[in-house]
A and B are shown apart, each in its own frame.
Chain A
């Protein structure tokens, strides 16, 4: 069964700082990878996803993530964060094929200080 680890539970950054949130998954086969975000008072929503092709994926609001197969990682990055990026970020993995469920990590709370 697949699993996901997010090592940073709470991150605090100042505006304009660069962001990198770690995500590692465990699964021996081919996977699809996702980052979801939950802004304060809003629903969880998809930020970006990787299915195949270019391992550098760009999402909404200037976020990007890079799939490094050899490291089983899918870290989320943003060169310059804004106060409005304050949210909880969830990495998720889905093993390809059939009705494979999506497994979420425990989430990272990002707080951006103005």
Chain B
């Protein structure tokens, strides 16, 4: 099993640009999570999907952030327009059946917005 796959691993962009982060969950897992990690706030849940349906998006910071899961094997997190305060590591995780089942994390995408 390849585990959770995220791309890109690193992204550097200028303020105002659109950023798209991608995630492929583990095959057979029906829940997918997007997290953001910063020094100040630690690991925050942004949104989670169950069977491709968004269940809890209360952590999405504002309208600049959007997430989609068009099918069971792919999800995107988009930031438009990006701002320097969005600089963080973004993790995707998946689990077989949703909380409280064990979550398997991807390697993360380190985003830097200048």
Which residues on B sit within 8 Å (CB–CB) of A49?
A: 100, 102
Contact (Cβ within 8 A) B41 A106: yes
Interface size on B, residues (CB 8 A): 23
Contact (Cβ within 8 A) B43 A101: no
Interface bits A21-40 vs B (CB < 8 Å: 1, else 0): 00000000000101010000
Interface size on A, residues (CB 8 A): 21
Which listed residue (B45, B50, B98) contacts A103, Cβ 8 A? B45
Known A44-B105, A45-B105, A99-B56: A90·B43 in contact at CB below 8 Å:
yes
Q: Which residue of B lies closest to A45 (CB)?
A: B105
B36 shortest CB reach to chain A, Å: 11
Which listed residue (A46, A96, A105) contacts B102, Cβ 8 A? A46
Which listed residue (A45, A51, A104) contacts B42, Cβ 8 A? A104
Residues of chain A at the chain B interface (Cβ within 8 Å)? 32, 34, 36, 43-46, 49, 51, 90, 94, 96, 99-107
29 pairs, CB–CB < 8 Å, chain A vs chain B: A32-B99, A32-B100, A36-B103, A43-B104, A43-B105, A44-B103, A45-B104, A49-B100, A49-B102, A51-B100, A90-B42, A94-B99, A99-B50, A99-B55, A99-B56, A99-B98, A100-B99, A100-B100, A101-B55, A101-B99, A102-B45, A102-B103, A104-B44, A105-B42, A105-B43, A106-B42, A106-B43, A107-B42, A107-B43
* List of 3 A-B pairs having minimum Cβ-Cβ separation, nearest first: A106-B42, A44-B105, A104-B43
18 new A-B contacts, CB < 8 A, other than A103-B45, A107-B43, are A32-B99, A43-B105, A43-B106, A44-B103, A46-B102, A51-B100, A94-B99, A96-B100, A99-B50, A99-B98, A99-B99, A100-B99, A101-B45, A101-B48, A101-B56, A102-B103, A104-B43, A104-B45
